[in-house]
Chain A
Amino acid sequence: MEITVAEALIRCLEQENVELVFGYPGGAILPVYDALNKTTIKHILVRHEQGAAHAADGYARVTGKVGVCLATSGPGATNLITGIANAYMDSVPMVVITGQVSTGMVGTDAFQEVDITGITIPITKHNFLVKDPNQLPVIVKKAFHLASTGRPGPVLIDLPKDVAMEKIKFKYPKTVVLPGYKPTFKGHPSMVQQAGRIIMESERPVIYAGGGIRIANASPELLQLAEKINAPVTHTLMGLGCFPGDHPLFLGMLGLHGTKYANQAVTECDCLIAVGARFDDRVVSKISGFAPTAKIIHIDIDPAEIGKNVRIQLPIVGDVKNVLGALLPQLEKKENAPWLARIRQLKEEFPLHYDRNGCLKPQFVVEKLNEYKDDRAIVVTDVGQHQMWAAQYMRFKEPRCFLSSGGLGAMGFCLPAAVGAKLGAPDRTVITVIGDGGIQMTMQELGTAAEQKLPLKIFVLNNQRLGMVRQLQDFYCQKRHVAVDFQFNLDFAELGRLYGMEGYTVETAQQLEKLLPEVLASPKPVLVNCMVDPEENVLPMVLDGANINEAVD
């Protein structure tokens, strides 16, 4: 029996076990929406396409599955861009489906036409324009395969309206042929052996763990490695949660706003084991001062990341779970007692700290949230000061508990990503830590959350300004503040109430402590507007051009 390409697309999604898709309809994608009538796949109607992309991203980060979003041609497609770029930078598996004007009109500047495959080449792992109706099943199969294997990422399928309405015989391929795509899964045995030797010879090893651990589900192997060789573990922003935050070997985040002890440990170590991390500039700062005395072992599935930013001694290309699995038997138990004593000393000497006096401190809010949240709660942040405080002061026991826009640093990520996260993990508490700037970028998605009856716990760290930019202007522009103070401030508690949430405003530590247990336990959606000290800075901070162990504190 013949079915339309649009129906075939939905059948393909069913074959890929897609449970829900995030989207926003429109003219060119009409046939696909029509086909959604005949499926059990749930469609989540967002309020802006950017929200669809971020929600699919949040869903994918929490579940480990491929997130799917839909939008129409032209503005629908361009509104997705930030979300696609965000997923690309953080290696999130996503399949993005856009409608396109009919093939006869492509290239004529037709109504709502943009060259979305052209636009998204630099921010997708790959993309497809469907021209031959019969190729659709093969393309969808390829898209899911590409998105979810190797280093994951977003893949876009652009589907012209006339192609979507053509009829084809549906057959979903079992395998894909991609001659140019063969990610290396197993690490090279001799490299793994050499890594084992370097580690066994080291006296001051440090593990630098990134988001690749979460992607490869390699947390158990990471824990075994760290305990076997007694190496402290520091994390990138994306790596938080991959190693238990309450473990004695936990060093917290490194880099620009990393802990002083993590940065000092990296500076002093003689062996740095980078696992699923990419030596981002926010981690490394000045290249020549980064781990200057260390032999660096870099384990990553993407060969292009190896040697890109920092010169390394030993590359191992492969799936980090597989490589760590192969590496563990090469190692013997190590104690490194003097090194661990040094680490303890660093931790005591340079703890994270802030002035607890005066008005409500933003660090206090995240600290208390950390205290009252349950271990499996998912924390979603936006981008800015609050994000860094959450990364510094919150502790996670398992991966996929901390969602944040890392590589792109996209304000507006938080709310829609929280919607996606809650839909992906309905039985878990989803807490958002968000600034008063970021919430106003995508707050229309409160409508989506209300419609889907999602009991999100939204904590707005409200300093009535763009705190991170103000901090940068303090440090780099001699406190000349431009465009960082909001002259108009809305009542976020009231905003929450308008969307059917319980809304509160807290101004003191006592009010917050009284409110927290109650609202976290409540089954209702809650928005807590926390009026925090607008003068607080995120510290430590490595200034431009400094080495990572020279942070201002």
Chain B
Amino acid sequence: MRHTLAVLVENNPGVLARVAGLFSRRGFNIDSLAVGRTDNPAVSAMTIVVEGDDRYLEQVNKQLHKLVDVIRISDITRDAYVDRELVLIKVSADSNKRAEIMQLVDIFRARIVDVGPKSLTIEVTGNDGKISAFEESLRPFGIKELVRTGKIAMLRGFKASSKNNVHKEEDES
């Protein structure tokens, strides 16, 4: 089963290397990993998508917890959550194909962000299903390049998957 982990980490240098290194040396496979600052500059949020059974996930969780920089891990897979990924796709587009592509862009609520003489670059956000459907429908035109950010996710409703007020200044007393 595919799990989505919302992980809060201290924004220290090397924290990404610690997390990525942990996955590789313990033989865990990362499907995707997205990382960025939260509203608190001392804290970063990671969304990690990892595939495996419950026992496997338990180890991933516990080993991540052992990293001193990891503040909190929530496996939000079984909760209601919103997830998004942003993808940039460069697709071959001769003048006779453009109309068709633009129709697809409309249907998927994507956006054209760059127009070249023989290509269009399209930005699309959404969840896994939408993005793969869009990718498939563009494939016949010839995808020249595709870049994705990896998934970011957040719980629905008032509950926070990541509390950001966890970091206090060092006690200098």
Chain A residues with CB under 8 Å of chain B are 117-118, 121-122, 125-126, 129, 131, 138, 146, 171, 173-181, 302-304, 306-308
Contacts and interface: CB of A to CB of B under 8 A. Distances in A.
Interface of B: 9-10, 13-14, 17-18, 21, 25, 55, 58-59, 62-63, 65-72, 166-173
B71 A179 contact: yes
11 contacts: A121-B17, A121-B18, A125-B68, A129-B13, A175-B171, A177-B168, A179-B71, A180-B67, A180-B70, A302-B66, A308-B59
B170 A177 contact: yes
Query: By CB atoms of chain B within 10 A, which of A121, A179, A304, A306 has the most?
Result: A179
A173 B68 contact: no
A171 B25 CA distance: 38
A179 B166 contact: yes
Contacts of B72: 180
Contacts of A306: 62
A116 to B, nearest CB: 12
A303 B62 contact: yes
A174 B173 contact: yes
A302 B62 CA distance: 9
Nearest to A135: B170
Secondary structure call for the B interface: mixed
A180 B69 contact: yes
B68 A181 contact: yes
A270 B168 CA distance: 48
Given A180-B9, A302-B66, 9 more contacts: A126-B69, A175-B171, A178-B68, A179-B167, A180-B69, A180-B71, A303-B65, A304-B65, A307-B55
Contacts of A126: 67-69
A180 B17 contact: no
A138 B170 contact: yes
Contact of B58 (A121, A131, A175, A307): A307
Contacts of A138: 170, 172
A89 B13 CA distance: 25
Given A121-B21, A173-B173, A175-B173, A304 B63 contact: yes
Contacts of A118: 14, 17
B168 A117 contact: no
A118 B15 CA distance: 11
Nearest to A181: B68
Given A179-B166, A180-B9, A304 B173 contact: no
B46 to A, nearest CB: 13
B62 A173 contact: no
Nearest to A308: B59
Nearest to A171: B172
* From A126, A180, A308, residue with most partner B Cβ within 10 Å: A180
Contacts of A171: 172
B68 A177 contact: no
B128 to A, nearest CB: 29
Contacts of A122: 21, 25
A446 B68 CA distance: 38
Contacts of B59: 304, 307-308
* A-B pairs, 8 with minimum CB distance: A304-B62, A126-B68, A180-B71, A179-B166, A179-B71, A175-B171, A181-B68, A180-B70
B17 to A, nearest CB: 7
B41 to A, nearest CB: 14
A11 to B, nearest CB: 15
Contact of A180 (B10, B63, B168): B10
